[in-house]
Chain A
Amino acid sequence: GIQVEQSPPDLILQEGANSTLRCNFSDSVNNLQWFHQNPWGQLINLFYIPSGTKQNGRLSATTVATERYSLLYISSSQTTDSGVYFCAVLMDSSYKLIFGSGTRLLVRP
């Protein structure tokens, strides 16, 4: 089956710093989503980005489907950005979201 790998597994930033999170996937996909899981466990949709680039405030994401990776950029990080960031891909045949192992981010004041 398809493999989804995220890096780095853990990241500690000082408030105000920028960061790049990476998601690699082993096969072609029709959907890729980025989520933020807050400390209360809720999954927040960040981007639905099967290809191209999108921006939302301090966050932006780029997916290069032909090279099977996606990047999530966080600029001017804030303590509220702390949590776990997941990418997940959708296989057409099953509609099943397959999650990466996540990047745990801690932003220190």
Chain B
Amino acid sequence: SAVISQKPSRDICQRGTSLTIQCQVDSQVTMMFWYRQQPGQSLTLIATANQGSEATYESGFVIDKFPISRPNLTFSTLTVSNMSPEDSSIYLCSVPPGGAIYEQFFGPGTRLTVL
């Protein structure tokens, strides 16, 4: 498995502002994923963060709203832009460690509340 950390663990933000969430892995991984979990719901993939190329976004998610950076093989950021209360969710990053794409492990999550 991999050791995955996220910052911040939680935040309360005002409508219209932006928040950048960091995901750090203790080993180099090819792919990193960002998921959103809205209150009482299941997890939905936002995008795949690829090192050296633009992120790949799922239907319903756009780069202007959720810009992603992947500067190296151990780190990624997700920004939630121009936030509204509907963005209140848990945001999680996940990785398949050791090059084994099939099993994924998740970071502890960032609990975001937008007022």
- Chain A positions within 8 Å of B, measured between CB atoms, are 30-31, 33, 35, 40-43, 45, 48, 50, 86, 88, 90, 95-97, 99-102
Contacts of A101 in B (CB 8 A): 41-42
Partner of A42, one of B1, B58, B102, B108: B108
How many A-B Cβ pairs are below 8 Å? 52
Does the CB pair B43–A50 fall under 8 Å? Answer: no
Query: Please, how many residues of chain B have a CB less than 8 angstroms from a CB on the other chain?
Result: 25
- Chain B positions within 8 Å of A, measured between CB atoms, are 1, 31, 33, 35, 37, 41-45, 48, 58, 90, 92, 94, 96, 101-106, 108-109, 111
Partner of B90, one of A41, A48, A88, A100: A41
A97 and B45 in contact (CB under 8 A), knowing A41-B109, A41-B111, A45-B1? yes
State how many angstroms separate the Cβ of B70 from the closest Cβ of chain A. Answer: 15
Contacts of A88 in B (CB 8 A): 43
Does the CB pair B103–A95 fall under 8 Å? Answer: no
Chain B contact residues: over half helix, strand or loop, or mixed? Answer: strand
Does the CB pair A97–B103 fall under 8 Å? Answer: no
State how many angstroms separate the Cβ of A49 from the closest Cβ of chain B. Answer: 10
Partner of A99, one of B42, B90, B105, B111: B42
